Chain A
Amino acid sequence: MNSRILIVDDSTTVRRMVNMTLTSAGYEVWEASNGAEAIESLEHQIPDLVITDVNMPEMDGLTFVRTARGNPRIPKIPILVLTTVNDPSFKEQGRLAGATGWLCKPFQPTKLCDAVRVVLARRTS
């Protein structure tokens, strides 16, 4: 079975780009447009990996990571942050919140797929 990935980003265009990249690589993908939507989605359907933006309305990415990690109904799946934010202090906040990795936009499709592969392999090993 193909690994399943939830993409969380408020930008339709970025979601489409990430979706196309991952779908082409053989993953099953679905989307949420902010952290609150993603939490709701995770309570019904658990992916193998989540990729989330940081700056989003309703619930930002770091709050989403903290909320997901603190929710006993959501298993500890890997969460990659994909953002334009390249500030080391934000990265550290992401790590402390429980993120698995930090990818800075603009992303290169091959690097995104490599990171996804590594993180999913870590999970199954």
Chain B
Amino acid sequence: MLKKSLLFWLILSPLVVVILFPFGVMFVTAFRPREELFTYPPTWTFSEFRWANFAEMWVKTNFGRALLNSLYVSVLSTVLAMILSIPAAYALSRYRFPGKRAYRTFLLMTQMMSPIVLVLGLFRMMVTLGLVNTLNSLVLTYAAFNMAFTIWMLQSYFSTIPRDLEEAAWIDGAGHLTSLLRVFLPLAVPAMAVTAIFGFINSWNEFVLALTMIRSSDGFTLPVQIYSQVAGRYQIEWHHVMAATMLATLPVAIVFSWLQRFLIRGMALGAVK
């Protein structure tokens, strides 16, 4: 076991190093005093932990506001996508109906359009709907773009839940709805949670649509807010950029590492079909 562990870590080590490298860069740049950004040759060490970088950045980049915006958009779009996906996935896994294959094909096709390609049309539509510059425009679009994936995941998972259980409850005299709520739902909750995490991460990191739809900086989500610190300015304050990136990444990374075992378990149970 020990030998195997060492061997595995040895094989994985190059990848581990490459993965951790950008995080290391982020870390040392974020804490560095500004005067030490451009020493030559560049070094991993620096004279002191400049915590003030974070405080300055928080104020300068309006970080708190962007954080709330990101949370609002990611949570609501995930909830919306789930509300719409669960019945659709249930229908796909339990019923035979006309146009089922066409519907599946349509879902796959919706994945093929990059948001960048559609940005102009989407914008025109949001103008018609009066939703430009509202976070709700992002909620709708993220939900729509995530739905294909969430439906697919939920459906493959639902198919693994034995139908006999529902039937049994049904025969016992429970109504269809009751059997759904009592028998099916509790079994499906883990899968829903896993699927929701996928949706959440996609929304949390999305950039192009947020950049286009949100016009005032009060509505910026985190990726846009951070990007605006880098893009085309006469001056880039790298220590602030990296501090912001770190703060935006850390919570997700922590939650993620805690949840990843559920992710994999969900995938396994979902036994992709």
Pair from one complex: no
